[in-house]
Amino acid sequence: MSDTPAAGTGVSSLGEDPKSDPQYIKFKCLPPGGPLNRWSHAVTREHDFPGAQAMLYGAGVPNEEMMKNAPHVGIATVWWEGNPCNTHLLDFGKIVKRAVEKQKMLAWQYNAVGVSDAITMGGEGMRFSLQTRDLIADSIETVTCAQHHDANISIPGCDKNMPGVVMAAARHNRPFIMIYGGTIRKGYSNLLERDVNVSTCYEASGAFAYGRLQAKTNPGAEGRTPSDVMSDIERHACPGAGACGGMYTANTMATAIEAMGLTLPGSSSYPALSPEKARECERAAEVIKTTMEKDIRPRDLLTRESFENALVVTMILGGSTNGVLHFLAMANTAEVPLSLEDVDRVSNKTPFLADLAPSGKYLMEDLYKIGGTPSVLKMLIAAGLINGNIPTVTGRTLAENVADWPSLPPDQKIIRPLSDPIKETGHIRILRGNFAPEGAVAKITGKEGLSFTGKARVFNKEHELDDALSRGEIPRDENLVLIVRYEGPKGGPGMPEQLRASAAIMGAGLKNIALVTDGRYSGASHGFIVGHVTPEAAVGGPIALVKEGDTITIDAIKNRIDITNVSDEELKERKKAWKAPKPKVRRGVLAKYARLVGDASHGAVTDQWDSEN
């Protein structure tokens, strides 16, 4: 069909989007500064696409005036039942839909799928988790582009949801805002007589296996046995809707994305069921209209400066190592240069200040009560650690967004003063050495020390270590580096998280252990842990060549991880003898994922093609 038919149709005003990326399908649109139905106009103008208009009338467009002039706003809820992080998001989408319609725009609600990390943790279902990040990005990109939406409001809840919706925004690059689903309330165990959350379940499991779990008072009495304590924790750890409450991956990504300017202020710290969260959903309609009027696009906000903010706030708050993987993927998608060296550089200059779980005692609900993320950002902007001049979805700068927010109370205990940090540099360390030539990501708060040397115990899959821990087979009398391999993006496949093992070790009180894997650790993990080892075992990285009893040294000061008792010549001989295992997953989504996915040091993305092909 011609782009320039008879005069009077208005088609001649359609043109190339100057902010489009030539690597994607190009959609013609109206120029900025005029009508807001810039992309939908292509199918709703005149009678060029009568079938499309008939379908839209059938879907709910009320009249011809709205058909021809109203912008189309997609509302993507990452909703499904059976997971507290996401079970409420459909209702949030309905609030947003009503608010968008009040702005005289058409609101189309749809869904993307996800996986509950906590439900799948330690099982085969966890292999599906990371790939949902890219599945979410694929889904939202698909609907936004194919349906000619003029803007997108995404409402994620669980870990991979947040980077997934941002990656989608970077792909379609149409006006966008994210609304975080919010954090869960604290749980309370009557038998432990203290606050609990989902991470408590996994640490309690380790304590249970090693005979260390008991009720606080009258332990062992009827109704107060270790098994009763486990049941009590399971029943009360998750009291309702919302994402896991510590500075785990969901809250890590939400706070970072707020620091990047992609949400309304407060989005990352409002509890899921708070009145503020519902009001945020209502206000989002006004803000998305502002982004459309001012032609504020995701790639205008996804910049080196905003990613720097994300890294700084992650170090300050003690965020998850998964954040590194996701920041690299988000930056890769937005064509922003970001590398492990940038993570290392920011970590080296940024103090660790927050006494938040998993390594600390407080949860996001507590931070909310003293001002939340905006108050933290206000303090960091004043200190010169965060760039307050970056633009945001509101049309104002980050500094302007938080200027009227209350400062952190002087007597609060959650965020330490800059003069008295928990650790003078960041807790996330990028390690290299003959064990991980292309990088590994360590989470070391300093509480567990800054170096570790031990003998290798090698497990070729996560379940092998889990079984050993369940049987109480990991001794306390020597330093051990527990290596879990063939769990990387390709080898897993899916790069599963391994909270079950790391939490069980903490619960069992095993202080003589370091954990190393080419897979991932949950944001709830803590201890001496190293993940994302690259190259992974499945492609013949040195982690595949380690043998039982080899000496492994981890040095968080020199940022090294090495096999110290094996010569380069010996490693070369082992490499010659190594044979790649045949993939056990041959069909289905994980087989497709294993074929497409890149390495962890570049974000484990699935749409990065060799430029020569």
The residue annotated as part of the active site, out of 320, 522, 525, 601, is 522
Helices 89-102, 275-293: crossing angle, 10 deg rounding: 50
- Quick one: which of 48, 364, 445 has its CA closest to 197? 364
Query: What pairs with residue 517 in β-bridges?
Result: 484
CB 349 within 8 A of CB 341: no
Alpha helices per DSSP H over 194-274: 198-209, 226-236, 249-259
135-146 burial: b if 16+ Cβ within 10 Å, else e = bbbbbbbebbbe
Secondary structure E strands in 123-229: 151-155, 176-178, 187-189, 194-196
C-alpha 138/C-alpha 141 separation (Å) is 5
C-alpha 527/C-alpha 540 separation (Å) is 27
- Output the CA–CA distances (angstroms, integers) from residue 300 to 20, 284, 303, 400, in the order listed: 12, 19, 7, 18
- Known catalytic residue at 522: yes
Query: Which residue matches tokens 């640490």?
Result: 203
Query: What pairs with residue 178 in β-bridges?
Result: 154
Residue 53, token pair as written in the block:
């208009």
Number of Cβ within 10 Å of residue 80's Cβ equals: 19
CB 189 within 8 A of CB 228: no
Number of Cβ within 10 Å of residue 608's Cβ equals: 16
> Can you list the pairs that 217-225 forms with residues at least 24 positions away whose Cβ atoms lie under 8 Å?
217/193, 224/191
395: left (phi over 0), alpha (psi -120 to 50) or beta: left
Helices 304-317, 322-333: crossing angle, 10 deg rounding: 170
Is it true that the peptide bond before 535 is cis, omega within 30 degrees of 0? Answer: yes
Interior angle at CA 58, CA 101 and CA 47, nearest 5: 95
Is it true that the peptide bond before 542 is cis, omega within 30 degrees of 0? Answer: no
DSSP percent split of the chain into helix, strand, coil, nearest 5: 40, 15, 50
Residues labelled catalytic: 522
